[in-house]
């Protein structure tokens, strides 16, 4: 586990949660559709790039990139389990019916981070 990346992941989670509490109703909708698929795809790519660049910036050896990405996404995987379970309390501005979209989005972000460090790590 990479402590620096856990802390960065925690920071990203805190900022993301705060943004969703303020503006999340404009991003997450109860009905999944083309905008939701677009959000998932863009987030997958962005978080894959972020994870790669963080591993590169920390000068992690390539054989540690996967554990680095796991460290990065761990706060999201743990804390957003609670955010999803108590969705209407954590995000009172977002319709409760959007909880599934939220959960899928978090999985897409985490999957992107993991895939980003696995695909051509030397590129």
The closest alpha carbon to 2, from 77, 57, 47, 65, belongs to 65
* Tokens (6 digits) for 73: 């996404």
80-109 residues labelled b (16+ CB within 10 A) or e (exposed): beebeeebeebbeebbeebbebbbbbbbbb
Helix and strand tally (H, E) in the chain?
5, 0
Give pLDDT, residue 29. Answer: 81
pTM: predicted TM-score of the whole model, two decimal places: 0.90
Give pLDDT, residue 121. Answer: 54
Give pLDDT, residue 120. Answer: 64
**Regions in the chain scoring below 50 on pLDDT:** none
pLDDT tens digits, 58-75: 999 999 999 999 999 999
């Amino acid at each position: 586990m990479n402590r620096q990346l856990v802390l960065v992941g925690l920071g990203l989670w805190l900022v993301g949660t705060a943004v969703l509490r303020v503006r999340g109703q404009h991003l997450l909708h109860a009905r999944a559709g083309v905008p939701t698929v677009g959000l998932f795809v863009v987030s997958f790519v962005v978080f894959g790039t972020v994870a790669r660049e963080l591993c590169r910036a920390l000068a992690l050896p390539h054989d540690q990139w996967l554990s680095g990405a796991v460290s990065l996404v761990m706060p999201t995987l743990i804390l957003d389990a609670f955010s999803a379970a108590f969705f209407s309390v954590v995000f009172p501005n977002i319709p409760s019916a959007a909880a599934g979209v939220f959960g899928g989005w978090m999985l897409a972000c985490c999957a992107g981070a993991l895939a980003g460090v696995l695909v051509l790590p030397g590129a």
